[in-house]
Amino acid sequence: EKNFLEVDKLQVAFRTDKGEVVSVDEVTFQLKQGETIGIVGESGCGKSVTSLSVMRLLGRTGMIKKGSIQFNGKDLTKLSEAQMREIRGNEISMIFQEPMTSLNPVFTIGNQMLELIHLHMNMSKSEARAYAIEMLKKVGIPRAEQLIDEYPHKLSGGMRQRVMIAMALSCKPSLLIADEPTTALDVTIQAQILELMKRLRQESNTAIMIISHDLGVIAEMADKVLVMYAGQVVEEADVFTLFDEPKHPYTKGLMESIPHLEHDSQKKLFSIPGTVPNLHMMPKGCRFHDRCPYATEKCVTEQPPLLSIPDNHNHRVRCWLLDEQQQQTPTDSRSEV
Ligand code: SF4
Ligand code: MG
């Protein structure tokens, strides 16, 4: 099966008053139709910037410096702004935690939804209204028949977020980008939204990029996972391999941050000591070295490449330790890092 989205060696930089900073560095991944990729990492690791690059929503200060984004036969990095506007909201939809393209305060929910649906779904006005109400109900909005005629300021933040999700899903995009889509919502609504995304994927073969710091959401939704740290991919694998056999010390640290409530409600949420490096002062060598319990001399001076594991070429890891271990014990790549 052909790849539907191919991001190749993407590099994104932002202009700041202290100079240019690279916030996404040589990120590569592929996505097939109907497939879901999860992107995890702490905030500031380049997850959101990666997804905003696909939408080409980098603002005035952001720019794609290198690489390509092949989407459905087009290189998105080469399209004009007018061509991108046709793709956004139609072929590619995005859901934000804090809706950036927030609802327009001077129009009712219905006006805004109907315009979008009318534009992209080839429906009559009355069909579009019935469909909008149905979508609002699907995202768990009570009294959708009344709410559709309200103005956005009458709604709570959580309700507005659900309206945004209903709008993003209503055009049945072929690619849905969801950046922390359910973080601000309570668990019941969160589960409903995830179900809705799964149904969309099933019905419309939608490809999904889901960005989350919540590994539970990733485990439930993703087919494969990218782990990002300091603008780079540090590990990539299918979801089962990643959770069963994480190789990168950063990935392992993230896994240990999941609270094991069912085993011991007193257990503290473990988090990796230290912080994500400042983009203006990116450390030499491995970007994780000052937080890594396994760091060696080499880690401090030389940057590890992203390499495939010999017995699983879809599992890629950026860590010197793995390289050495494979040289020492080539037959046992499953040993603990
Ligand atoms: Fe840790 Fe070194 Fe691996 Fe970086 S390369 S993650 S510092 S062991
Ligand atoms: Mg983010």
Complex ipTM: 0.95
Q: What is the pLDDT of residue 191?
A: 85
The rounded Å distance from CA 323 to ligand 2 centre is 31
- Count Cβ atoms within 10 A of the Cβ of residue 238 and give its class: 0-12 exposed, 13-18 middle, 19 or more buried: middle
Share of the chain above pLDDT 90, in %: 53
- Under the banding of pLDDT at 50, 70 and 90, the label for residue 115 is confident
Ligand 2 center from residue 296 Cα (angstroms): 31
Most confident of 44-53, 271-280, 327-336: 44-53
Q: 3-class DSSP state for residue 62? A: strand
In a domain, 314, yes or no: yes
74 domain residue, yes or no: no
Residue pLDDT, tens place only, 29-82? 999 999 999 999 988 899 999 999 999 999 899 999 999 999 998 999 999 999
Which of 252, 320, 322, 326 has most ligand 1 atoms within 8 Å of CB, for mutation? 320
Question: Rounded to the nearest whole angstrom, what is the distance from the C-alpha of residue 261 to the centroid of ligand 1?
Answer: 30
- Helix or strand (DSSP H, E) at 201: helix 187-204
Q: Is 227 in the pocket of ligand 1 (CB under 6 A)?
A: no
Nearest CA to 107 out of 153, 165, 171, 45 is that of: 153
Q: Which atom of ligand 1 is nearest to the CA of 300?
A: 7
Mean pLDDT of 299-315: 93
pTM of the entire predicted model: 0.87
Does the residue 283 lie in any domain?
yes
Q: Is 267 inside a domain boundary? A: yes
Please tell me the distance between residue 290's alpha carbon and the centre of ligand 1 in angstroms.
Answer: 9
The count of domains in the chain is 1
- Does 256 fall in a domain? yes
* Domain-embedded: residue 313: yes
Judged by its nearest atom, the ligand closest to the C-alpha of residue 249 is 1
Residue 319 in domain: yes
pLDDT at 213: 83
> Where in the sequence is the domain holding 267, given as residue range(s)?
246-328
Residue nearest atom 5 in ligand 1 by C-alpha distance: 319
112 domain-assigned: no
